[in-house]
Amino acid sequence: MSELQQYYEACKANQWVRKDETECGCKGSGWFLSQVDTFHSCPLHNTGQPHPEELYSEEPDWEVEREIERRFKGTDDNEDEQSVNDDMNAGA
Ligand SMILES: [Zn+2]
């Protein structure tokens, strides 16, 4: 058994579980993220928390995405460049 596999088996066997949630591998969140990027449900502290990867895979908030795009890809690009040049000239 490789070292990595041994580690994974130890994770699966809940060897990271501690009664005290501050010492527990899940840190009280209910899910333990192993060093090999696998999530393990905590038998003591998982009281129905959703799987962390489900949270990550949520659709992006498109309203926010559009707003960010508006701000960073504004139509005043040329004006901005001009003002940067002015600043540089003023400093020289
Ligand atoms: Zn725990």
Cβ neighbours for 28, distance < 8 A, ≥ 6 positions apart: 21, 22, 45
* Residue 23 or 79, more confident: 23
1-12: pLDDT as tens digits: 899 999 999 999
Q: How far is the CA of 7 from the centre of ligand 1 (A)?
A: 18
C-alpha dist (Å) from residue 63 to 39, 52, 56, 72, 78: 30, 23, 18, 15, 26
| Strand, coil or helix: 60 | coil
What residues have a C-beta under 5 A from ligand 1, the ion?
A: 24, 26, 42, 44-45
Q: How far is the CA of 33 from the centre of ligand 1 (A)?
A: 11
pTM value? 0.56
49-67: pLDDT as tens digits: 989 887 666 566 777 778 8
Cβ neighbours for 13, distance < 8 A, ≥ 6 positions apart: none
Q: How far is the CA of 28 from the centre of ligand 1 (A)?
A: 5
